[in-house]
């Protein structure tokens, strides 16, 4: 089999395995919906790109560029989490071990996986191009479809970014400590950094500034007053207050004059992606999970990543235990148990859930958590609430994200779900454990609020402590994966408490949030999420 055939077979199998899932169809549905919302009518209560109250008419150049830019921004984020499961699946299904026993080399395997990731993202992009064309006709501002103008931005802006995303997904999956939740969290901050840099006009791999600068230059030439108000542009979803609408002045924009330098610059990112995949080969263990394992006794504290990261591979995280008394045959009496000894034992359940949750955490994890508590007590209350509480409540994210997921990921569900009253005992115990973690890590702020007599703040704090594990549990139970919670919670955390968006401040970190009655809304949401978790678990119990 030549190399091309080999890659074709690798990509094909992986691609089919992914695209034959219902979840992929749902993803495609979201993609189509995204194309629809990326091109709002005029006027509308939101704008996706406005340049000081101006935008281009929806001709192929503007539609193609706008949808390509928006797709690049959002799919570079969501796409990573979507495709970062390719190597994990091979580990989980043990297909990886079979492949490792073949003559397939590490680079071949990883390139195949990266290409498969890229193929999945390409399907979404091609769907987006089609939808963009249809949307241009639906909006009807210019019904002349120019295929070249419509598609070029996707090829030159979006595709190189998707290549980088596909390669990064392979790299993260190849590096042991980035495989799990920690990798998900780190990518989030990497993405925030990339988007922020782009917003500050630094040319990053996203490439959004190329069409944006051309659009701005065009607006500038048509509207002399525009130049002075350049900072008033917005990209993303900018909503007007209730009852108000964006009335954008439209102008004709004919697209980017792509220079050879631009094109080469963009194509270079494919080379970077290739380099990332080759670099991944340095870390990829070729499914030999015994590599780099400590000899002798396992360490008692093996790093805070250990409990969460590579959940499907963790069976080999320890040196193989050999039996020392294999030939011994002992006659053993089993004491009969009376029915009186079976009781609810709820608090015992909470204790063991807490043990499972905290098992394997390193001293560093506790040290940082303790540091956050102490710091919360030491600094002014406002700093404590607005900065340290958000930090304290993002620190245990990987503990929460395992809630409701652990049973499926470690395949203990049949053992646990076949126990009596699992729904009444184990699920509430798990939830309470999550709340206890939140309360402990955020206890510094709670003490300060109590001393200051800020009962409104204390109420918000309690709601926050219940809301986070409820969100984690509901998402974990329904998706069977920790990924959704990790991504959604980080987004919520970043946009809400960190960027002071009132409606998303689930921590009640400012007096304004409390005055606006936001904690009450999150209390209701918490109840809804708890109900969802119970319904989801009930469904798991009775499948």
CB of 95 to another protein, least distance (A): 16
How would you classify the pairing of strands 249-251 and 54-56? Answer: parallel
Here's the x/- map for another protein, 313-332, by CB under 8 A: it reads as -xxxxxxxx-xxxxxxxx-x
Stretch that binds another protein, among 137-145, 335-343, 378-386, 528-536 (CB under 8 A): 335-343
CA distance 127 to 136: 14
Here's the x/- map for another protein, 426-445, by CB under 8 A: it reads as x-------------------
Q: 53 or 302, CB closer to another protein?
A: 302
Size of the site for another protein (CB under 8 A): 58
Q: 228 or 338, CB closer to another protein?
A: 338
Residue 348 lies near another protein (rule: CB under 8 A): yes
Q: Note the helical H segments in 46-176.
A: 60-83, 86-92, 95-100, 106-139, 147-153, 159-174
Q: 336 or 453, CB closer to another protein?
A: 336
DSSP 128-146: HHHHHHHHHHHH-S-----
Stretch that binds another protein, among 52-60, 110-118, 491-499, 535-543 (CB under 8 A): 535-543
Beta bridge partners of 249: 54
CA distance 69 to 498: 25
Applying CB under 8 A, which of residues 342, 364, 366, 455 lies at the interface with another protein? Answer: 342
Residue 337 lies near another protein (rule: CB under 8 A): yes
Applying CB under 8 A, which of residues 417, 459, 478, 494 lies at the interface with another protein? Answer: 417
Residue 421 lies near another protein (rule: CB under 8 A): yes
Q: Which two tokens stand for residue 443?
A: 């206890």
CA distance 310 to 292: 15
CB of 407 to another protein, least distance (A): 9
Stretch that binds another protein, among 226-234, 418-426, 446-454, 476-484 (CB under 8 A): 418-426
CB of 360 to another protein, least distance (A): 4
Tokens 């007053």 correspond to: 225
Rounded to 10 degrees, the C-alpha dihedral 205/208/210/212 comes to -160
Residue 341 lies near another protein (rule: CB under 8 A): yes
Residue 543 lies near another protein (rule: CB under 8 A): yes
* Cis check: omega of the bond before 43, within 30 degrees of 0: yes
Which secondary structure element, helix H or strand E, spans residue 249, and what is its range? strand 249-251
Residue 272 lies near another protein (rule: CB under 8 A): no
CA distance 118 to 90: 17
Which secondary structure element, helix H or strand E, spans residue 441, and what is its range? helix 422-441
CB of 136 to another protein, least distance (A): 39
Here's the x/- map for another protein, 354-383, by CB under 8 A: it reads as -xx--xx-----------------------
Task: Scan residues 99-158 and list those touching another protein (CB under 8 A).
Answer: none
Applying CB under 8 A, which of residues 412, 452, 521, 538 lies at the interface with another protein? Answer: 412
Q: 96 or 255, CB closer to another protein?
A: 96
Q: What contacts 62, CB < 8 A, 6 or more positions away?
A: 55, 56, 215, 253, 255
Q: At what angle do helices 159-174 and 60-83 cross, to 10 degrees?
A: 10
Residue 2 lies near another protein (rule: CB under 8 A): no
3-state secondary structure 162-189: HHHHHHHHHHHHHCHHHCCHHHHHHHHH
CB of 438 to another protein, least distance (A): 22
Residue 351 lies near another protein (rule: CB under 8 A): yes
CA within 13 Å, CB half, 16: 5
CA distance 70 to 78: 12
CB of 345 to another protein, least distance (A): 5
Q: 158 or 422, CB closer to another protein?
A: 422
Stretch that binds another protein, among 58-66, 347-355, 474-482, 508-516 (CB under 8 A): 347-355
Burial pattern 471-491, b for ≥16 Cβ within 10 A else e, equals bbbbbbbbbbbbbbbbbebbe
CA distance 230 to 221: 13
Task: Scan residues 285-314 and list those touching another protein (CB under 8 A).
Answer: 298, 306-307, 314
Applying CB under 8 A, which of residues 155, 223, 410, 494 lies at the interface with another protein? Answer: 410
Q: Which two tokens stand for residue 425?
A: 């005992």
Q: 109 or 365, CB closer to another protein?
A: 365
Are the CB atoms for 403 and 471 separated by under 8 Å?
A: no
Burial of 50 (0-12, 13-18, 19+ CB in 10 A): middle
CB of 338 to another protein, least distance (A): 9
CB of 351 to another protein, least distance (A): 8
CB of 358 to another protein, least distance (A): 10
Q: Which residues bind another protein (CB under 8 A)?
A: 298, 306-307, 314-321, 323-330, 332-337, 341-345, 348-349, 351-353, 355-356, 359-360, 406, 410-422, 425-426, 541-543
């Amino acid at each position: 089999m030549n190399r091309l055939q080999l890659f074709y077979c690798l990509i094909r199998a992986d691609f089919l395995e992914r695209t034959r899932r219902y979840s992929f169809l749902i993803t495609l549905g979201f993609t189509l919906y995204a194309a629809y919302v990326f091109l709002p009518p005029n006027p509308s209560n939101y704008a996706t790109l406005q340049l000081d109250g101006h935008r281009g008419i929806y001709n192929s150049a503007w539609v193609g560029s706008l949808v390509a830019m928006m797709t690049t921004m959002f799919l570079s984020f969501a796409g990573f989490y979507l495709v970062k499961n390719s190597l994990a699946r091979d580990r989980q299904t043990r297909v990886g071990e079979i492949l490792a026993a073949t003559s397939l080399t590490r680079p071949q395997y990883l390139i195949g996986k990266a290409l498969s990731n890229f193929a999945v993202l390409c399907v979404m992009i091609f769907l987006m191009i089609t939808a963009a064309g249809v949307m241009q006709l639906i909006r009807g501002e210019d019904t002349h479809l120019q295929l070249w103008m419509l598609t070029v931005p996707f090829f030159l802006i979006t595709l190189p970014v998707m290549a980088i995303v596909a390669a990064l997904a392979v790299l993260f999956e190849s590096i042991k400590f980035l495989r799990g939740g920690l990798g998900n969290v780190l990518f989030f901050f990497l993405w925030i950094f990339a988007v922020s840099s782009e917003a500050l006009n630094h040319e990053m791999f996203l490439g959004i500034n190329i069409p944006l600068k051309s659009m701005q230059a065009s607006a500038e030439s048509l509207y002399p007053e525009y130049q002075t108000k350049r900072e008033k542009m917005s990209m993303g979803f900018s909503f007007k207050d209730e009852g108000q609408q964006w009335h954008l002045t439209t102008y004709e924009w004919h697209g980017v004059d792509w220079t050879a330098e631009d094109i080469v610059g963009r194509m270079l990112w494919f080379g970077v992606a290739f380099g990332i995949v080759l670099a991944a080969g340095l870390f990829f263990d070729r499914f030999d999970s015994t590599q780099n394992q400590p000899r002798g006794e396992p360490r008692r504290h093996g790093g805070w990543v250990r409990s969460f990261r590579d959940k499907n591979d963790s069976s080999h995280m320890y040196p193989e235990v050999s039996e020392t008394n294999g030939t011994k045959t002992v006659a053993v009496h089993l004491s009969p148990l009376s029915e009186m000894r079976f009781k609810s034992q709820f608090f015992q359940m909470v204790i063991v859930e807490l043990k499972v949750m905290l098992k394997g955490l390193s001293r560093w994890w506790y040290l940082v958590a303790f540091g956050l508590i102490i710091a919360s007590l030491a600094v002014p209350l406002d700093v404590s609430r607005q900065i340290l509480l958000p930090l304290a409540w993002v620190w245990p994210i990987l503990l929460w994200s395992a809630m409701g997921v652990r049973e499926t990921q470690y395949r203990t569900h049949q053992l646990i779900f076949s126990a009596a009253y699992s729904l009444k005992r184990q699920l509430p115990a798990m939830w309470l454990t999550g709340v206890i973690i939140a309360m402990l890590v955020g206890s510094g702020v709670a003490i300060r609020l109590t001393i200051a007599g800020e009962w409104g703040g204390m109420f918000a704090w309690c709601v926050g402590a219940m809301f986070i594990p409820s969100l984690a549990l509901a998402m974990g139970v329904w998706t069977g994966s920790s990924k959704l919670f990790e991504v959604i919670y980080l987004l919520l955390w970043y946009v809400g408490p960190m960027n002071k968006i009132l409606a998303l401040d689930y921590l009640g970190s400012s007096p304004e949030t409390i005055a606006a009655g936001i904690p009450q809304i999150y209390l209701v949401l918490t109840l809804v999420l708890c109900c969802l978790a119970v319904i989801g678990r009930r469904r798991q119990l009775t499948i």
